[in-house]
């Protein structure tokens, strides 16, 4: 029996066109998984698929805007048609922002972030869950420190990540007797260039990497942590610094607030 839990594992991976999602696709292919890759960027998906195929593995590519419920349904249905089952759903797609709330020019930006980061995970999970229950599969949510701590200049992003935490924590309890595991990942900055793609006050991408992403965790390290936690069906991954931060949040919240401003402020 192969000890690697991802060998012949059918995985739906959202946000697979770049960053964490792209590197995770490469790692999962190396571990013998069979993948459905989803993202909005068709070119990015093609690039990810090309490298996977160079490794000798064909992948299913489905351009998907997870903020649209019908597209999430299509993503799951196409995966079932192709593979016959789903073993793992990794909710990785997301967008960020950098702007004071009182300087946002179009409040619809907050809804956009919520639809991608939170509702996209809800929609994908809703349609995949019956199949995951049959396979006794894995649900994974990629959050960040924004799901645990204040997110100044990223209020909509923080709200979406807190919503993810509440949803998946509740779902974990509901699924306790089904065998389906729910793993949440909380990491600090990862060197993906996400800050350059964050939405500014005008709703447009900033276009430059911000200072607080400098010296961030390498993408490969983050992927290792995610897949290890998912493989072991852990409740969550939160590094030691994050655990200490939770202690300070409880007993000395002002320290956490000051650190948030120092880290995320202009």
The whole-angstrom distance between residue 53's C-alpha and the CA centroid of its chain comes to 23
Spatial contact of 21 and 39, defined as CB atoms under 8 Å apart: yes
Q: Other C-beta atoms within 10 Å of 158: how many?
A: 25
DSSP state, 216?
P
- Collapsed DSSP state (helix, strand, coil) of residue 202: coil
Spatial contact of 87 and 131, defined as CB atoms under 8 Å apart: no
| Phi–psi pair at 180, nearest 5 degrees | -75, 125
Known catalytic residue: 157?
yes
3-class secondary structure per residue, 101-140: HHHCCCCHHHHHHHHHHHHHHHHHHHHHHHHHHHHCCEEE
Measure the CA–CA gap between 68 and 124, rounded to whole angstroms.
10
123, 145, 153, 157: the active-site residue: 157
Measure the CA–CA gap between 229 and 5, rounded to whole angstroms.
12
Distance in angstroms between the alpha carbons of the first and the last residue of the chain: 53
Catalytic residue positions? Answer: 157
């Amino acid at each position: 029996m192969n000890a690697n839990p991802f060998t012949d594992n059918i995985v739906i991976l959202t946000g697979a066109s770049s960053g964490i999602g792209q590197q995770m696709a490469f790692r999962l292919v190396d571990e013998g998984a069979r993948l459905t890759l989803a993202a909005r960027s068709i070119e990015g998906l093609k690039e990810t698929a090309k490298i996977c195929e160079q490794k000798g593995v064909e992948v299913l590519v489905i351009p998907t805007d997870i903020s649209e419920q019908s597209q999430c349904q299509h993503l799951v249905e196409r995966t079932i048609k192709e593979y016959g089952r789903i073993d793992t759903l990794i909710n990785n797609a997301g967008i960020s922002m950098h702007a004071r709330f009182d300087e946002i020019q179009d409040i619809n930006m907050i809804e956009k972030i919520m639809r991608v980061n939170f509702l996209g995970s809800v929609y994908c999970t809703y349609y995949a869950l019956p199949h995951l229950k049959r396979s006794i599969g894995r649900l994974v949510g990629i959050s960040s420190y924004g799901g645990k701590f204040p997110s100044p200049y990223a209020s909509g992003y923080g709200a979406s990540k807190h919503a993810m935490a509440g949803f998946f924590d509740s779902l974990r309890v509901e699924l306790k007797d089904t065998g389906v595991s729910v793993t949440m990942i909380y990491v600090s900055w990862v060197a993906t260039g996400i800050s350059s793609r964050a939405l500014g006050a005008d709703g447009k991408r900033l276009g430059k990497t911000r200072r607080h992403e400098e010296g961030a965790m390498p993408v490969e390290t983050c992927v290792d942590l995610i897949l290890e936690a998912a493989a072991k069906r852990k409740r969550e991954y939160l590094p030691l610094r994050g655990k200490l931060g939770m202690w300070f949040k409880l007993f000395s919240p002002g320290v956490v607030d000051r650190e948030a401003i120092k880290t995320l402020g202009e």
